Amino acid sequence: MLFKIAWRNIWRSKTRSIVVIASVAVGLFAGMFIMAFFWGLVNQEIESAVETQLAHIQIHDPAFPDDKDVNDTIPNSNSIITKLLKDSNVKAISCKAITMGMISSSSTASGVEIHGINPKDERAVSSISQNIIEGVYFTDTKKNEIVIGKKLAEKLAVKLHSKIVLTFQSKNGDLTAGSFRVAGIFRSRNSGFDQMIVFTKFNDLAQLLNTGKGIHEIAIILKDGQQVDSVAYKFKKQYAPLLVQTWKEISPEMGMLTGIFDQMMYIIIGIILLALMFGIINTMLMAVLERQREFGMLMAIGMNKPRVFFMVMLESVMLTCVGIPLGILLTVITVHFLAKHGIDLSSFSEGLAQFGFSNIVYPELHTDIFLPISLMTTVTAVLSAIYPAIKALQFKPAIAIQKI
């Protein structure tokens, strides 16, 4: 009986009920859409970092990451590479010679990290070859070619085919310089990376470093990126005492992004639900005050206070339960559309590039949030109805019956 009465009471004022339902739906949509937007933004940032600079797993000599000394090469690297290529979890690997140095043009100079790579192997590990905006990603015949970022090219005031000089310390401790020609210019999502990292061919750099076939880094891309922790754990045991690190260990701030944004999103959801709570309280209180005579008559004919209280609570919960599916449906449709077409943030591209974020964001919706968000909204509705329900219990039947 109480369910029937509560349901009929809801639709006695259709406009008011529709406003409450719309408020719940829009509030739920706003919260979940913000979560989908930031999840898409963060996941794109992580994917970009893995594709351009981190890979899934990196292997180094334990002393190399601290000061990047050219003498700290990986021992028995050929044996390790052979084993890695046979591993069922490994999709591709790239071996690099790495050193810190100075890059100079006729205009200015800048500090850079120089990566000597095998272009064919690097294509399978990094997306830099796909980000070339001018020139090519190395040629097969020419020596001493270099690929640099757009930001660095602008800083050095160089263009395609310009000559630049790399200066660094060789294996023997001597200061060595080499002349290189710009073969290509790339632009990634991260302007900081574009300004700091340059690429040359492995043999060209190794010859100047005098390191021969010595390798400083083995970058690994897995077939399943979700298995990175378990595979890295296996490699740490298999290739001890070498330093085996996942992208989360190399860049812990990247690993923290997901957790931080998850916490932030639930805080934002809480703020939205708090605002929604005041809206429901206001609407339900208005409905209760308008029906003083009705509540007075119900109590006069024998309806006890717990039933009156429960009836008001039911009305609030029913309105919310109608709004929740509508909010979820609106979110699913919107995110599904934007996941295909993206959200263009080109007007903020410079600022986003400073932090490695793309100017096109593709929202991602995790279906496992539907249940907790729905429960949070339902709890909000229950809490919102408490005060109006208590107010209804304070009416005295003899006085309330006389209200118009």
* pLDDT over 60 (residue 320): yes
Residue pLDDT, tens place only, 104-161: 998 999 999 999 999 999 999 999 999 999 999 998 888 999 999 999 999 999 999 9
Number of domains in the chain: 2
Beta bridge partners of 404: none
pLDDT the model gives residue 266:
79
- Of 207, 241, 275, the last residue of a domain is 241
In a domain, 229, yes or no: yes
- Beta-bridge partners for 114: 99, 198
In a domain, residue 247? The reply is no
Residue 55 in any domain: the answer is: no
User: Which pLDDT score is estimated for 355?
Assistant: 59
The model's pLDDT over 96-112, given as tens digits with 9 standing for 90+, comes to 999 999 999 989 999 99
Q: Which of 188, 211, 241 is the last residue of a domain?
A: 241
Indicate if 10 and 67 belong to the same structural domain. Answer: no
Q: Is the dihedral of CA 364, 365, 368, 374 positive or negative?
A: positive
Q: Do 271 and 374 fall into the same domain?
A: yes
pLDDT confidence bin for 354, thresholds 50/70/90: low
Q: Both tokens of residue 304?
A: 């006890």
Q: Note whether residue 29 is domain-resident.
A: yes
Mean pLDDT confidence for 296-312: 79
Is there a contact between 107 and 163 (Cβ–Cβ < 8 Å)? no
> Given this model, what pLDDT does residue 356 score?
58
Helices 252-290, 305-341: crossing angle, 10 deg rounding: 140
Amino acid at 390: I
What digits encode the pLDDT tens for the residues 166-178? 999 999 889 999 9
* Same domain membership, residue 230 and residue 84: yes
Give the C-alpha separation, 106 to 369, whole Å: 56
Residue 57 domain-assigned (yes or no)? no
- Same domain? For 72 and 40 the reply is no
Considering the domain architecture, whether residues 225 and 282 belong to the same structural domain is answered as no
Q: Is the pLDDT of residue 373 over 80?
A: yes
Do 273 and 221 have their domain in common? no
Note if the pTM is more than 0.85. Answer: no
Q: In this structure, are 87 and 230 located in the same domain?
A: yes
Query: Alpha-carbon distance 392 to 396, whole Å?
Result: 9
Residue type, 328: I
Please give the Cα distance from 22 to 2 (Å, whole number).
Answer: 24
Measured between alpha carbons, how far is 285 from 287 in angstroms, rounded to an integer?
A: 5
Ranking 42-51, 305-314, 348-357 by mean pLDDT, the lowest is 348-357
Is pLDDT at 338 greater than 60 in this prediction? yes
Between residues 96 and 388, the one the model is more confident about? 96
Rounded CA separation 83/346 (Å): 44
Residues 101 and 7 grouped into a single domain: no
Same domain, 162 and 290: no
Residue 201 confidence class, pLDDT cut points 50, 70, 90: very high
- pLDDT score for 358: 66
Tokens at residue 175, please? 């200061």
- The tokens for 170 are 């060789």
Residue 218 has pLDDT above 90, yes or no: yes
**What pLDDT is stored for residue 381 in this prediction?**
86
Q: Does residue 171 lie in a domain region?
A: yes
Cα 66 to the center of its chain, rounded Å: 28
Average predicted confidence (pLDDT) for the chain: 87
Same domain, 104 and 129: yes
Looking at 195, 213, 241, the residue that finishes a domain is 241
The answer to whether 192 and 109 have CB atoms below 8 angstroms apart is no
54: in domain: no
Instruction: Verify that 306 and 235 share a domain, yes or no.
Output: no
What are the tokens at 67? 């000061």
92 has a pLDDT exceeding 80: yes
- The predicted structure's pLDDT at residue 62: 94
> Domain residues for 229?
62-241
Query: Taking 90 as the threshold, does the pLDDT of residue 12 lie above it?
Result: no
Report the percentage of the chain scoring pLDDT > 70: 95
Whether 83 is in a domain gets the answer yes
Are both 293 and 265 inside the same structural domain? yes
- Distance separating the N- and C-terminal Cα atoms of the chain: 25
